[in-house]
Amino acid sequence: MNLILLGAPGAGKGTQGKTLSETYKIPQISTGDILRANVRSKTQLGVKAKEFMDKGALVPDGVVVNMVVDRIRQDDCVNGFILDGFPRNLNQAAVLESTLREMGKKIDLAIGIDVERKELVRRLSGRRVCRKCGASYHVIFNTPVNIGMCDKCGSEIYQRDDDKEETIEARLKVYEQETLPLIEYYGGKGLYKSIDGIGSVDKITKDIMDAIAKGSSNS
Ligand code: AP5
Ligand code: MG
Ligand code: ZN
């Protein structure tokens, strides 16, 4: 099963992707997480990407697309994968499609997690993330059992550099301009399903799993 999680910054792609990955035993491929790992270890790619990420802008397609293609070709993706944060514009979607076609694969479903703007800002401004495994928490809505420590792996949790108010606004704008057209792109292929992203994390997971069980309107 090859799945895409679509949704605005803060919609819950990372949160849901993690659980889905554990449930279906297929990797979650978060371009944001891969880029942040590169920023942290100061690779050439990371140094370049940071300039864009700090502004809330998209990192150039060339960089991100190669990163994802390399990742999808790895052995652990043979039974499927969950893309979180990719594709993010029509060009990335087109390259993904042609790459998968060459590999004899395809996207089975694109799930959009729907959350209103005011709630997105609330979620992003209170978010904390695990430095090691990338699990997402929230200072009010989704607190870890031990303050400052990840429930899943025990590592330190921190606030992302791009979760500042001005950067959040920029990211939401980029989402509306660049990423929103993907709803129509996948909708036109009969591959899009939208899920209400308001409610408990578990309820949303269940709704996504129900949508996966029903499959796309193509299958
Ligand atoms: P990326 O890391 O992908 O960030 P994003 O798209 O802005 O999305 P987020 O990770 O902020 O949100 P999320 O949907 O994962 O929400 P989460 O589950 O954490 O990208 C970062 C940057 O990298 C980009 O700006 C860009 O520069 C670059 N980049 C990445 N991919 C790229 C690409 N393909 N092309 C070019 N550039 C790229 O949840 C958010 C918060 O809400 C958490 O606190 C969580 O605990 C809480 N929460 C989750 N669910 C619920 C719920 N049901 N109720 C209440 N709270 C909840
Ligand atoms: Mg995320
Ligand atoms: Zn962790």
- The ligand that comes nearest to the alpha carbon of residue 31 is 1
CA distance 146 to 186: 40
Report pLDDT for 134: 85
The catalytic position among 36, 127, 128, 193 is 127
Q: What is the DSSP letter of 179?
A: I
pLDDT band at 219 (very low <50, low <70, confident <90, very high): low
pLDDT mean over 121-142:
92
The catalytic position among 18, 50, 128, 171 is 171
Tell me, in angstroms, the distance from the centre of ligand 3 to residue 122's CA.
Answer: 22
202 vs 43, 94, 183, 205, 206, CA distance in Å? 36, 32, 24, 5, 6
- The ligand that comes nearest to the alpha carbon of residue 7 is 1
Helix runs in 73-196, H state only: 90-102, 117-125, 165-174, 181-188
Cis peptide before 144 (omega within 30 of 0): no
Tell me, in angstroms, the distance from the centre of ligand 2 to residue 8's CA.
Answer: 9
Residue 101 is a catalytic residue: no
Residue 122 is a catalytic residue: no
- Dihedral, 26, 28, 34, 36 alpha carbons, nearest 10: -140
Task: Out of 15, 70, 120, give the residue to mutate to test ligand 1, the one with the largest number of ligand atoms within 8 Å of its CB.
Answer: 15
CA distance 60 to 57: 9
Pocket of ligand 1 (CB under 6 A): 7, 9-15, 31-32, 35, 52-53, 56-59, 64, 85-86, 88, 92, 123-124, 127, 136-138, 141-142, 162, 171, 199, 201, 204
- Write out pLDDT tens, residues 149-186: 999 999 999 999 999 999 999 999 999 999 999 999 99
pLDDT band at 16 (very low <50, low <70, confident <90, very high): very high
The letter for the amino acid at 96 is: L
The catalytic position among 36, 50, 88, 123 is 88
- Please identify, by atom number, the ligand 1 atom nearest to the C-alpha of residue 199: 53
- Dihedral, 187, 116, 3, 218 alpha carbons, nearest 10: -30
- Write out pLDDT tens, residues 178-205: 999 999 999 999 999 999 999 999 999 9
Which residue ranges form the domains of the chain, and what is each CATH number? 2-116+176-218 (3.40.50.300)
CA distance 215 to 212: 5
CA distance 113 to 193: 9
- Write out pLDDT tens, residues 103-126: 999 999 999 999 999 999 999 999
